[in-house]
A and B are shown apart, each in its own frame.
Chain A
Amino acid sequence: MNILGTGLVNKENGDCLDGRAFPGQMRRADRFCKMAVSAAQDAIRDSQNKVAAQNTGIILATAFGPHPTTFKFLDNLLDYKENEVSPTLFSHSVHNAAVSYIAAEFQINGPTLTLAGFDGVFAEALKLAQCWLENKVCSYVLLGAAEERGPVFDKVFDIVDGSAFFLFSQEEGFCRLKLDQRQGTSPEQGRHGAVVAARALFDATAKVKSGNAAEAECIIRDCQASGTVIKLFH
């Protein structure tokens, strides 16, 4: 499959949402959703808007989901009566809220999936995207990862905050991607969340896209405790 566009938002230069404008329908959206929508928007723009309503699928991989919103909802439960909790916090605490916003923002009516996993979920999501394209489930797959840091999980995890998205297709893009299996070579990435793997792919893609390399390679963990080798070709 080919990469037609990429997008990345992260905290390296201040808060990744600084200066971003969001549509009115996102006025209640939390930071997790806004990061995912921003990265998806960048990937779509990068592809010169190659998404097509029913012919585009969306997949989001995450380990921890919008856990700061979940904990805010638990604050509600502990601080107020059970019938006084916020429906807005509850509806944003579900993992698939971000994908719902992406679909609504770009009017995508294809299949939408949010995948949750601690062990190689991004690699499995990539394999599924390839499967969708080969089985002609859709012509484009907008695939990404998102994670958010928060005070509770900061005590036990080293989550890489941000979101990265890619637009994949069988159509010609700026970069061709090949997935391979390699045993016993993967770095431990499970407890940092899914963005680590997405970031590795983003960086490898950038090398090829910039013309600095004709091909690049990155290895990300998959569910079999081995490595999925991603090879990228110009």
Chain B
Amino acid sequence: MRDIFITGLGAISAAGNDIVQTLATFKNGERNPLKPSLFSTALPYLAFEVNKFSSPHTDEMRTIQLMRHAAGEAIEFAGLKGSLNDFRVGVCLGTTVACQLNDIDFYRAYRQNGAVDKARITRYLRGNPAENLAAHLELNGPVLTVANACSSGTDAIGIGLEWLSADMCDIVICGGADELSHVAYCGFGSLSVSSNDPCRPFDCNRKGLNLGEGAGILILEKKEIAQRRGKKPFLSLLGYASSADAYHLTAPHPDGKGLGIAIHKVLKNCGLNPKEIAFINAHGTATRDNDRTEGKVFKEIFGTKIKFISTKGFTGHTLGAAGGLEAVFTCMGLREGWLPKNPGFEKEDPEIGLSPLAALTQLNGCYAMSTSLAFGGNNSALIIGIER
């Protein structure tokens, strides 16, 4: 195990604009996916948008606005506001939408008159999340943006762990961010994996995913730095592992090969056995393939008693933000000692043969896992611990 503390958390999603609001949503179990309001569409799929959000950074793309908001909360949580420049600070963030010029208005204008709107290009170049945050905060450590589709946020946190273990920096700001994009909304529709109804992760009658948006940010810190700053040992990032299915561009390996390898590896790296994992925050997109594969692997490795949830029932699938948000939610579960119910779940799927939490549940145990599966076949798992 490695001595990497988690000293800051920040989250913004449809479940709440900060940690306090998110906890309240998790407690009352409410959710309200709607037809998108950020763009007009004739498609019927529901989505989870961030509500009542305004950012001072109006010249930045929405992904950056969300990321800066969550990063601000995490930095304040860690007590690092105004003092980041005293340390070697790296930034590693995941995204999918922000690394593409998915700008329909820009492209429509180009097709009409062949002209390229330089202001939109500048905004795109400023839209790389890690480079944007590092420049904004004038940080001096390594900087990387991970474009690993739906596991981007988890992989970004894993890279942060590697950087700290290799002494490449003292502190890492990591996680993921993505806005709800019209292009992705239509793209997921074309793949026939989106649902017209509120998503139902792991339910027998699940019909697909709802897209979402948001940002989830963690502050990772070397033990000696955290202790020097008077931070008590609390949450720790204990391990990360990742494995490719080497199978298909959009479908998971039917036996969950890559996910199984990633989970076994991270358990081994942490010196833990499956019974020591108190709960899993699953990827749980509510698509037929994802939930069947993930459930099958959980059953094989952890048995049928494992406690798990998918928080995508509260947030939708936030793509590059998902791993960041779900790592934050995993920390919150360990810290608060309870987990919300898995929204939308009513009936166990016999093909899966195990059920997520159907009610708010009190927790014991010191270790939890967060898993991510991605387009492209990458699978990643984190283990987070708490000192009790």
Contact = CB atoms under 8 A, between A and B. Distances in A.
B376 A96 contact: yes
Across chains A and B, which 9 residue pairs bring their CB atoms closest together, nearest first?
Answer: A90-B187, A100-B376, A95-B147, A111-B242, A116-B99, A223-B143, A103-B244, A116-B147, A87-B190
B239 to A, nearest CB: 11
B57 to A, nearest CB: 19
B107 interface: yes
A96 B144 contact: no
B131 A119 contact: yes
B159 A128 contact: yes
B278 to A, nearest CB: 25
Contacts of B188: 90
Nearest to A54: B261
Contacts of A73: 183, 187
Interface stretch (B65-73, B162-170, B279-287, B340-348): B162-170
Contact of B116 (A97, A104, A118, A156): A156
Interface in A110-145: 110-121, 124-125, 127-128, 131-132, 134-135, 137
A117 B250 contact: no
A12 interface: no
Best-buried of B99, B140, B242, B378 by chain A (most CB within 10 Å): B99
Contacts of A124: 142-144
Contacts of A95: 96, 99-100, 147, 149
B42 A81 contact: yes
Given A70-B101, A134-B166, A118 B189 contact: no
A64 B131 CA distance: 14
Contacts of B140: 224
Given A78-B108, A111-B244, 4 more contacts: A82-B186, A82-B189, A94-B376, A116-B95
A67 interface: yes
A113 B146 contact: yes
Interface of B is mostly: mixed
5 contacts: A54-B261, A77-B183, A83-B186, A108-B246, A131-B166
A174 interface: no
A71 interface: yes
B110 interface: yes
B7 interface: no
B374 interface: yes
B295 interface: no
A87 B261 contact: no
Contacts of A97: 249, 376
Contacts of A109: 243-246, 257-258, 261
A155 B165 CA distance: 43
Interface residues on B, range: 35 or more
Interface in B1-58: 41-43
A115 B147 contact: yes
A193 interface: no
A86 interface: yes
Given A96-B378, A118-B125, A112 B244 contact: yes
Interface in A92-108: 92-97, 99-101, 103-104, 106-108
B230 to A, nearest CB: 29
B144 A117 contact: yes
A5 interface: no
Given A99-B376, A137-B162, A71 B107 contact: yes
Interface in B355-385: 374-378, 380
Contacts of B250: 87, 91
A113 B155 contact: yes
A21 interface: no
A81 B186 CA distance: 10
Contact of B144 (A103, A128, A135, A152): A128
B174 to A, nearest CB: 13
Contact of A67 (B100, B144, B190): B100
Contacts of A81: 42
A74 B186 CA distance: 10
Contacts of A103: 244-246, 377
B247 interface: yes
Contacts of B162: 128, 131-132, 135, 137
Interface in B248-293: 248-250, 257-258, 261
A110 B128 contact: no
Given A74-B104, A128-B144, A85 B187 contact: yes
Given A135-B165, A152-B110, A65 B100 contact: yes
A95 B42 CA distance: 27
A223 B142 CA distance: 7
Contacts of B236: none
Contacts of A113: 146, 148, 155, 159, 242, 378
B130 interface: yes
B246 A104 contact: yes
B244 A117 contact: no
Contacts of B297: none
Interface string B108-145: 10110000101001000100101100100000101111
Contacts of A58: 244
B41 A78 contact: no
Interface in A23-73: 54, 58, 62, 65, 67, 70-71, 73
A81 to B, nearest CB: 7
A110 B144 contact: no
B4 to A, nearest CB: 13
Nearest to B111: A78
Best-buried of B147, B241, B245, B377 by chain A (most CB within 10 Å): B147
